[in-house]
Amino acid sequence: MKISVIGCGYLGSVHAASLASVGHDVIGIDVDADKIDALSQGRSPIFEPDLPELLSEGIASGRLRFSTNMADARDAELHFIAVGTPQSAGAGSADLSYVDGAFDDLVPYLTEGDVVVGKSTVPVGTAVTHVADVEARGAHLVWNPEFLREGFAVKDTIRPDRLVYGVAYGDEYSVQKLNEVYATAIESGSPVIVTDFATAELVKVSANAFLATKISFINAMAEIAEVTGADVTKLADAIGHDNRIGRKFLNAGVGFGGGCLPKDIRAFTARAEELGRGESVAFLKEVDAINLRRRERVVELVTEELGGSVFQKKVAVLGLAFKPNSDDVRDSPALDVAVRLNGLGAKVVATDPEAIANSRALHPQLVYGTTDEALAGADAVVVVTEWPEYKQLDPAAVHEVVRTPIVIDARNCLDADAWADAGWEYAGLGRQVKNGRA
Ligand code: UDX
């Protein structure tokens, strides 16, 4: 099928390349000329496993092209809207200007029988504001939310765990078209759920609200564990064995970040308030507050471990991305912790396998280095993103290079006993300090 993908960021670039990989003829369109230039040469503007390979294959096959010109969408019969919906400046609501702009620019090029497919995460009630303009061109509108996780984006796109189509009443035509687009995924077992627009929009935000709530729940238990002597990691294992609860997304630590969960719960709260149902999701404000408190707690732990002040102390901050296998630092708790410690006068040296360039663009005041540079002579080591290379650090070897063997495991990802046995003072979140220092 001939497909256009409007917006080539974290979502659109992966979507375009994945659709080309399953045999479609795809044009990716974005207003950012540098991004289009890189993508056209097969270079991925983001760090995402498997994406570079898919881009090169797609471009070589001739099935994947990129352009800054919306007129190039004219030949396509399906048009995916994959632009961002960031948090509005100074408010919790979603900024819909990119979505509105994409529709305004695309609509003149639509022809009879085209299907416009919204993938961006939008407040409930957005699709309905665009349907008249699309239908006036004889085209159809569908809302088809995306559930991909960064780091697994290609896998999640090619074989999603569910496909949700929000369609206008009785629009079988669009359902058939989307079934054709996603034939490979459907054949390999991805279930399809057809809904109205509002349900499809809500599925996305409620899924993210649920995940955020689950993480803040376990982080709230970590707060209780900290004052009672309990261990939140064992608590998570124990309650996670109940398959009504499940162990996934029960990792207590510095909390959630990224381009989705934080802004999506805030936008959901703002939208519910607009709808006069603020009280229905008022708990999401608490979810957000618990999450933000964890960053403060990490800074507090580092301060406590350093005897009450971080001033002039060298702190190695391991990790800047909001999670491993990503270079994304949007609302990253790791970067936030580095910035806060630096602001308190610590000599922070921050490192990350992939996210230094993005961090430096936002916070040029921080000192960045390699893992070795960060660890050399450190008074404390803080692990804030659970990259495999940090989990695999040898505590005995690292002990040799630091000044003081203090480690703050802000992701509870290290083997606490192994670090304590190697002579470290180990402090996790929601667990007791283990003092292995002689
Ligand atoms: C999320 C949703 O998972 C995805 O379905 C949606 O499409 C977009 O938002 P993503 O932002 O890529 O995906 O990251 P995710 O893997 O969900 O992690 C979000 C944050 O929660 C990360 O900062 C992660 O470190 C944190 N997290 C996750 C925890 O703190 N504890 C956990 O147990 C799980």
22-68 tens-digit pLDDT = 999 999 999 999 999 999 999 999 999 999 999 999 999 999 999 99
Tell me what percent of the chain is helix, strand and coil, each rounded to the nearest 5: 45, 15, 40
The pLDDT value recorded for residue 277 is: 98
Q: What is the rounded average pLDDT of the residues 237-264?
A: 98
Whether pLDDT at 119 is above 80: yes
Structure tokens at 122: 């939008």
Q: Is the CB of 149 under 6 A from ligand 1?
A: yes
- 143 Cβ inside 6 Å of ligand 1: no
* Catalytic residue (choose from 142, 200, 232, 260): 260
Mean pLDDT of 368-395: 98
pLDDT digits (tens, 9 = 90+) for 281-330: 999 999 999 999 999 999 999 999 999 999 999 999 999 999 999 999 99
Tell whether pTM > 0.85: yes
Q: How far away, in angstroms, is 331 Cα from ligand 1 center? A: 12
Helices (H), 72-113: 97-106
**Atom of ligand 1 minimally distant from the CA of 253:** 30
Does the beta carbon of 98 sit less than 6 angstroms from any atom of ligand 1? no
Residue among 163, 210, 215 to mutate when testing ligand 1 (max atoms within 8 A of CB): 215
| Matching residue, tokens 């029988």 | 113
The mean predicted confidence, pLDDT, of the chain is 97
Q: What is the mean pLDDT of residues 267-284?
A: 98
Amino acid 333 reads P
CA distances from 263 to 48, 117, 234 (A): 21, 22, 30
Q: What integer is the mean pLDDT of 195-214?
A: 98
> Residue 437: what pLDDT?
66
Atom of ligand 1 nearest to the CA of 257: 23
Q: Ligand 1 centroid to 241 CA: how many Å?
A: 21
260 is catalytic: yes
Q: Give CA–CA dist 62/44, Å, rounded.
A: 17
What are the tens digits of pLDDT across the range 77-101?
999 999 999 999 999 999 999 999 9
Given this model, what pLDDT does residue 436 score? 81
Distance CA 201, CA 143 (A): 7
- Cα 264 to ligand 1 centre (Å): 12
State if residue 261 touches ligand 1 by the CB under 6 angstroms criterion.
Answer: yes
The pairing of strands 2-6 and 367-368 is unpaired
Of 355, 295, 348, nearest in space to 317 by CA? 348
